[in-house]
Amino acid sequence: MKVIRVRDYSELSQRAATYFINKLTQSHFGVWGLATGGTPKGMYKELIIQAEEKGVSFQNLHTVNLDEYVGLQPNDPTSYHSYMQEHLFQAIDIPSENIHIPNGMASDLEKECDRYEEMIKGLEKIDIQLLGVGENGHIGFNEPGTSFDSRTHVIQLESSTREANARYFDRLGDVPTHAITMGIQTIMEASEVVLLASGKNKAKSLHALLCEKEVTEDIPATILKKHPHVTVIADEEALSLVLLTCERENEQVLKF
Ligand code: PGA
């Protein structure tokens, strides 16, 4: 696992965007797994700027998003469909048919999960999967206790997750109780994973990922220790516990 230590959120956003743009300039096509939430917003903004500066086209890119709330219409401002339009898709030249996000309004949610898995299989593989991490260690919406064998499924959100995301809704009661999320096995099948973490509230999750030996379904992000190609881009605050307690062990990975 490689760890890129950056000063702050602004540097994290720039480094992450450059990383993804370089992938695209190297191959001109591919499948990106994308994430939502507060963390990647800065990266998406930078991605748009850097793509314009470098004349990079997204015409041949396919994207598959990690998750979507159950019960929100795609055009609901708090849906992840809306988030992706607002923060990335409206500003780049990706064809709309290349964009994939779970349908949280499907009448048969189980069928929708199967369809999503089949769609990913049809794309062959996810070349690079972007992840954030929850304060409870979730990846995608795979909450603690989710099986490492899971594929795309419906999940009941933990109250800590709903509280963390309540800032995007008028009130806590409006935050959906369920979501469709790519499973942990689905995520692990991506050729490469890039995990972004910014801020003190991510320090415990990063400590579990980088310093503790245990791989446990109680902290879903710890499964990434078993993935052959993971890059963590994290700022000083997110790494604060790691730097305090296991800097020596991580000397190699933390020096850049
Ligand atoms: P955040 O969420 O980027 O809004 O902190 C990350 C996550 O829950 O995966």
Residue 173 lies in a domain: yes
Residue nearest to atom 2 of ligand 1 (CA): 37
Range of the domain at 118: 2-229
pLDDT of residue 29: 77
Given the CA of residue 36, which atom of ligand 1 is nearest to it?
3
Rounded Cα distance between 229 and 219, Å, is: 19
Arithmetic mean of pLDDT, 26-42: 93
Residue 255 clears pLDDT 70, i.e. is over it:
no
Selection from 228, 181, 237 nearest residue 206 by Cα: 237
User: How many CB atoms neighbour CB 35 within 10 A?
Assistant: 24
Query: Please, which pLDDT band fits residue 249 given cuts at 50, 70 and 90?
Result: low
Query: Please, which pLDDT band fits residue 246 given cuts at 50, 70 and 90?
Result: confident
Catalytic-residue membership of 227: no
Tokens of 86: 């607002």
Residue 255 lies in a domain: no
Arithmetic mean of pLDDT, 187-212: 97
From residue 137, alpha-carbon distances to 8, 69, 190, 216, 252 in Å are: 21, 19, 19, 10, 24
- H or E element in which residue 209 lies: helix 203-210
Mean pLDDT over each residue of the chain, to the nearest integer = 95
pLDDT of residue 256: 37
pLDDT of residue 251: 52
The preferred substitution site among 65, 133, 206 for testing ligand 1, maximizing ligand atoms within 8 Å of CB, is 133
Residue 256 lies in a domain: no
Q: Is 160 helix (H, G, I), strand (E, B) or coil?
A: helix
Catalytic-residue membership of 143: yes
pLDDT of residue 247: 62
Identify whether the C-beta of residue 196 lies closer than 8 Å to the C-beta of residue 131. Answer: yes
Residues flanking ligand 1, CB < 6 Å: 37-39, 132-134
In the Cβ-directed half-sphere of 88, how many Cα atoms lie within 13 Å? 26
pLDDT of residue 157: 96
Residue 254 clears pLDDT 60, i.e. is over it:
no
Residue 246 lies in a domain: no
Q: How many domains does the chain have?
A: 1
User: Residue 243 carries which DSSP code?
Assistant: H
Arithmetic mean of pLDDT, 19-35: 92
Residue 189 clears pLDDT 80, i.e. is over it:
yes
Residue 29 lies in a domain: yes
